[in-house]
Amino acid sequence: MVATKQLSDPTVRAFVEAVNTHDKAAFLALLTPDATMTDDGTERDLADWTDREIFTTRGHIDVVSESDGGRAFVADYRNDTWGSMRTAWRFTVHGDKISRFDTGQA
């Protein structure tokens, strides 16, 4: 496992911290106003997906390995709906904001 505080990209690190502490305000502050995302290759409504998959179901990310300068990682993700699964995440970062993330089963 890679400790959250050791993740290379500071914006992605803040994303993981916000998810793991269930800090929705901090999470939303990291996103550009027009941020988008996919889950298993399908475009999703970001607000609906994050509420359903992260915040109302106590989502948690344990990073297993990172790549692309910290803007991609493989993780064990768990929430109260689906349990635990191996997932891959990729981020598009502009400055200190995330404009897109893609996730899915790894």
pTM for the model: 0.96
**The predicted structure's pLDDT at residue 15:** 98
Q: For position 10, what pLDDT does the model report?
A: 98
Domain count, the chain: 1
Compute the mean pLDDT over every residue in the chain, rounded to the nearest whole number.
97
Calpha distance 86→75 (Å, rounded): 6
Q: Which long-range contacts (CB under 8 A, 24 or more apart) does 31-36 make?
A: 31/97, 31/98, 31/99, 32/94, 32/97, 32/98, 32/99, 34/99, 35/97, 35/98, 35/99, 35/100, 35/101, 36/99, 36/100
Q: Which domain holds residue 96?
A: 4-105
Residue from 7, 19, 3 nearest 67 by CA: 7
**Lookup result for tokens 């793991």:** 20
Give the pLDDT of the chain (106 residues) as one tens digit per residue.
Answer: 999 999 999 999 999 999 999 999 999 999 999 999 999 999 999 999 999 999 999 999 999 999 999 999 999 999 999 999 999 999 999 999 999 999 999 9
The span from the CA of 58 to the CA of 48, in Å, is 15
Strand 97-105 versus strand 31-39 pairing type: parallel
pLDDT of 42 reads: 98
| pLDDT at res. 11 | 98
CATH of the domain at 15: 3.10.450.50
